[in-house]
Amino acid sequence: MADLRVWHDELQAALAEMEALTARPGFDSAELSRVRYRLSRVSGERRKLVALLCDTLSEHATGFQAEQIAALRESNAQARAASTAHIGAWTLQQVTADWEGYCRASAQMRAIMRAQIAAEKAALYPRLVPA
């Protein structure tokens, strides 16, 4: 499914946009809200597709492949929980009060998301129809 590759590309672009935004000494709340919304939307769509692919592929997976898909499901759930906690902890009011803290927390969250993308690529790309 080429769609997963597209979602990964879009998510990488949104992560790069957030990285550039958090490299600044200050922020514009409208721009931050826009980038956060984009990240949430793209990540959510990607997460739904990954869950669907895991469901579909697990029907015929055995051994190592089944273990890899199960591990991916678990890491997907953990990444979602981390993202939800991050969004809940860093309201616009909190970001305004501690921009530097938000920048550090955002870097950690981006690292989690990039690790999740890498895990998805390793587990799913070999099983997908070439783009």
Cα distance between residue 21 and residue 32, in whole Å: 8
Per-residue pLDDT tens over the stretch 71-106: 999 999 999 999 999 999 999 999 999 999 999 999
Query: What pLDDT score does 131 carry?
Result: 54
Q: Quick one: tokens of 128?
A: 């997908």
Cα distance between residue 1 and residue 127, in whole Å: 9
Per-residue pLDDT tens over the stretch 10-47: 999 999 999 999 999 999 999 999 999 999 999 999 99
Q: Does the predicted TM-score (pTM) go above 0.95?
A: no
Nearest by Cα to 111 from 47, 40, 15, 35: 15
Question: What band does 61 get if pLDDT is binned at 50, 70 and 90?
Answer: confident
Q: What is the DSSP letter of 128?
A: S
Question: What band does 127 get if pLDDT is binned at 50, 70 and 90?
Answer: confident
Query: What pLDDT score does 2 carry?
Result: 56
**Is the dihedral angle over the CA atoms 15, 17, 23, 27 positive or is it negative?**
negative
pLDDT surpasses 60 at 123: yes
